[in-house]
A and B are shown apart, each in its own frame.
Chain A
Amino acid sequence: MNKLTARIDKERLLLALAAPVLAVVAALVVTALVILATGKNPFEAFNDMLSYGSASDSQIYILNKATTYYLAGVAVAVGFRMNLFNIGVDGQYRIAAFFAAVVGGALHLPGPLQIIVVILVAMVVGAMWSGIAGILKTSRGVSEVISTIMLNSIATAVIAYLLQPDKLGQLDDAGTLVSTKSLPKSSWFFTFNAGPAGELWGFIVIAALVGVAYWFVLGRTRFGFDLRAVGRSESAAEASGVGVKKMVVTSMVISGAVAGLVGMPTLLNDSHAFSNDFPLGVGFTGIAIALLGRNNPVGIAIASLLWGYLERTTGHLELIGYDKEILGVIQGVIVLCVVIAYELVRRFGLRRQQQRVGAELAAQAAATATDEKLEVAR
């Protein structure tokens, strides 16, 4: 019996890895075909990506990018785990970063304290923004997909309105960029100095902690069990005693709080102010990353590194004469392949397991058949 469960586990692990690997390989093949179709040599391109990606300054860049992506992936994954599609991570992180930047620029607290305040403001704003969608869903039955998309637009409008020179923004010296007041130097987040390769953002530590917390809360606590139960079957969870409505709002709020962190690496480690060139669309990247990483904390980390890697290396391809749209093609194909591959692998795994259970039971039946006869004889 033990041997059998071990085998199932090993196979399950294999199946879990099969889908993303399959997806990435398929994406490479499709990309190669696309490059071929443009009349260029795909292997040269891959070769360049490999050598450029392994340069130390590229690696720092990739890690920094991945920090942001990881947080976005986790924010989306929290929703995914209970079947909530939080498309609004994008608006949540932007509005959170904006208000955090405003608060950070206005306060002059001792460094560490100010950092904590800024981070907390971001989390609270993000949580409130997504909480609106949660409350709309539970009280009025509005699909979170619709409401979060609309909240994204509203967030964009709110930021555009407030980020004007006569409101909360200020024009830079060149007169081209509007931004919030810069954070005082004392409240910049620490970085790791990697010499000529650049600086590694210290926020990667926070991202790792968020990953650990995500794993622990969902996998090890009652709350996490309840949350996953709702994701797997809302009706069964309700019958088991989970307050589904409360859970919807809670998980939306958590998702939003994590989303609030998404803008923090950029704000605290890089830009130190919210300007109108603050990164856009990271929330949507988070959806792709959560999908690719299977909502698994390690998987999401790998996916965000892959995303950072692709962005870095395809950016360089442009310099040697390839089209920069290659990036979009690879990412798009990966996401499509992931969705298809997961479904294929899931169905295959389920069928395989049912077959195995059947086979095992038949074997048991054969073994007990003799006992049964004895029982009948008695």
Chain B
Amino acid sequence: MHALCGENGAGKSTLMKILYGMQKPDEGTITVDGTEVAFSSPADAIARGIGMVHQHFMLADNLTVLENVALGSEKLYGIGGRARAKIREISDAYGLGVRPDALVEELGVADRQRVEILKVLYRGARTLILDEPTAVLVPQEVDALFDNLRELKSEGLTVLFISHKLGEVLSVADEITVIRRGTTVGTADPRSTTARQLAELMVGSELPTPGARESTVTDEPALAVSGLRLTATDSDGVVREVLDGIDFTIHEGEVLGIAGVEGNGQAELVEAVMGMRTPDSGTVVLGGRDISHVPTRTRRESGIGYIPEDRHRHGLLLEAPLWENRILGHVTETPNSRRGLIDARAARLDTERIVEEYDVRTPGIEVTAASLSGGNQQKLIVGREMSHHPKLLIAAHPTRGVDVGAQAQIWDQISEARREGLAVLLISADLDELIGLSDTLRVMYRGRLVADADPATITPEELGSAMTGASSGHLDHEAVGASAPEGGEEG
């Protein structure tokens, strides 16, 4: 099992695309089992026994597992009983526990991932490439995945594993390759390397330490949400409660972290606070002003900064130059416009400043946002939102898909602004990030805030179990595992 680590934009994905035949190399060779090969399409790679499990699953929700697996390779084992038998055989051989006749839409994230792995094995892959497979999993699921991967390894398969999470890489890999800015900067032996050394190899310099920090929480409420309830009609026409009974207050200088498996209402909560969705009931009060019924623009103007979960969909105009992206979301504020007119000169100047201050790596501000790497796009967004001195920052997965260097930088900026009285609503799937940054932790499960925890004592495992709905109430370090009564404050 070989792991590949590197900063974002280091070239990991490009390398993977080349190995899987999605892109052609300019020079260099690829050797599989001692023979030199040249792939011109993924089909060639599959023929050579290389399979890829993408970060974003490529499954048709409305089909069964069997249909999804057979799709595109009907010639191998047909689409009926033979295929079903083969799926069972593979599933049993590697302990994947996949049921061929289940509908994919009924499966959880971890099961879907196993279907993806099975899909690859079904096509006869001997080498598996997994692109950030743990990004969407909770800790328990990650362990299960690693068990599956070890199983594969023991059957003689090769696994190539890409990850940002150094702890995982160290625990599971037999050998680690670190790449930076498109070249291999080193290999490491997981038995004799620490996460810190690995991280330093990745960024190429010593890491800043998060460090011990004193609490900056004040008594002044910045955002108070109460009784928030939101319903949505799903594709079957059934009205579901997406959010229910959401109550929380964030004080100035406080970071409130919301933990939860994705799809439990976090995105909807953010959109409700931003004014992009209209809740059925409940109030949102920002700095003493009721903003429950004002449009998104007014909310932004009154001091909400927003680092969206999906920066391509909600944070950037990919085909617009950087300086226009700097205007996005703050078009009515200085320096972007004056008396209804865009002040392109001032906006450009300020973009130069952001690029400088937030270390956005770009040759200029006239290039399109699409040509920057993910981490640099995120730094631009953070810089833009911070430039307007928000009272409340909504940070949804602020370091997702961001390399270690940029990650530390973004954390620093959030901590610093917090010291100056910023309130932060932090939503993240990265439990270390949540625990490390938050002053208060809440767990969201099926649209409700079911548990709270003290970030000073809680461990990722304990948080993880609450995220799956296994425990609720106040999570205490000792009491975890057992289900505490709803809202109970046992100590």
Contact = CB atoms under 8 A, between A and B. Distances in A.
B363 interface: yes
Contact of A360 (B300, B327, B363): B363
Interface in A208-251: 219-226, 228-229, 232-233, 235-243
B465 interface: no
Given A222-B341, A240-B328, A357 B372 contact: yes
A5 B366 contact: yes
B98 interface: no
B371 A350 contact: yes
B240 interface: no
Interface in B338-370: 340-342, 344, 361-368, 370
B205 A232 contact: no
Contacts of B205: 372, 375-376
A361 interface: yes
A160 interface: no
B86 to A, nearest CB: 40
Nearest to B364: A5
A353 B308 CA distance: 25
Contact of B300 (A241, A243, A350, A356): A241
A235 B297 contact: no
Interface stretch (B48-56, B62-70, B146-154, B309-317): B309-317
B331 A238 contact: no
A236 B331 CA distance: 13
Nearest to A361: B361
Given A5-B366, A361-B361, A375-B206, A240 B342 contact: no
A157 B428 CA distance: 58
Nearest to B301: A241
Interface in B199-216: 204-206
Contacts of B337: 222, 225
B327 to A, nearest CB: 6
Interface string A63-77: 000000000000000
Interface in A330-378: 350, 353-354, 356-357, 360-362, 364-365, 372, 375-376
Contact of A243 (B182, B295, B342, B368): B295
B463 to A, nearest CB: 28
A242 B297 contact: yes
A241 B363 contact: no
A356 B362 CA distance: 10
B232 interface: no
B297 A233 contact: no
B371 A353 contact: yes
B317 A229 contact: yes
Interface residues of B, number: 47
Interface in A239-271: 239-243
A220 B364 contact: no
Interface string B263-303: 00000000000101000000000000000000111111100
A51 B94 CA distance: 79
A362 B363 contact: no
Contacts of B182: 362
Contact of B363 (A220, A225, A226, A361): A361
Nearest to A3: B364
Given A223-B340, A239-B314, A364 B361 contact: yes
Interface residues of A, number: 40
Contacts of B486: none
Interface-centre pick from A4, A225, A235, A243 (highest chain B CB count, 10 A): A225
A362 B363 CA distance: 10
Contacts of B316: 233, 236
A353 B367 contact: yes
B331 A226 contact: yes
Interface-centre pick from B330, B341, B363, B371 (highest chain A CB count, 10 A): B363
A376 B204 CA distance: 8
B296 A236 contact: no
A76 to B, nearest CB: 20
Nearest to A369: B204
Contact of B365 (A5, A223, A241, A365): A5
Interface string B303-325: 00010100001111111100010
B389 interface: no
B184 interface: no
A323 interface: no
Contacts of B361: 361, 364
Contacts of B324: 225
A357 B341 contact: no
A239 B296 contact: yes
A222 B331 contact: yes
A297 to B, nearest CB: 17
A9 interface: yes
Contacts of B342: 219-222, 224-225
A5 B323 CA distance: 13
Contacts of A9: 366
A26 to B, nearest CB: 25
A116 interface: no
B335 interface: no
B247 to A, nearest CB: 25
Contacts of A372: 204-205
B313 A236 contact: yes
Contacts of A225: 324, 327, 331, 337, 342
A222 B340 contact: yes
A353 B313 CA distance: 21
Contacts of B274: 239
A109 interface: no
B139 interface: no
Interface-centre pick from A4, A221, A222, A353 (highest chain B CB count, 10 A): A222
A360 to B, nearest CB: 4
B25 interface: no
B364 A1 contact: yes
Contact of B297 (A241, A365, A376): A241
Interface-centre pick from B301, B318, B332, B341 (highest chain A CB count, 10 A): B341
Given A225-B327, A242-B297, A233 B318 contact: yes
Contact of B317 (A232, A238, A361): A232
A9 B363 CA distance: 13
B331 A233 contact: no
A95 to B, nearest CB: 32
A243 B298 CA distance: 11
Interface in B175-189: 181-182
Interface string B441-477: 0000000000000000000000000000000000000
Given A5-B366, A221-B340, A229-B328, A354 B314 contact: no
A244 to B, nearest CB: 10
B245 interface: no
A365 B370 CA distance: 20
A8 interface: yes
Given A9-B366, A220-B341, A376-B206, 17 more contacts: A1-B363, A5-B364, A220-B342, A221-B340, A236-B314, A236-B317, A238-B276, A238-B314, A239-B314, A240-B329, A240-B331, A242-B297, A353-B367, A353-B368, A356-B371, A357-B367, A376-B205
Interface of B: 181-182, 204-206, 274, 276, 295-301, 306, 308, 313-320, 324, 327-332, 337, 340-342, 344, 361-368, 370-372
22 contacts: A4-B363, A8-B363, A8-B367, A221-B342, A222-B337, A225-B342, A229-B331, A232-B319, A233-B317, A236-B316, A236-B328, A238-B296, A238-B314, A240-B297, A240-B330, A243-B295, A350-B371, A353-B367, A357-B362, A361-B361, A361-B362, A376-B206
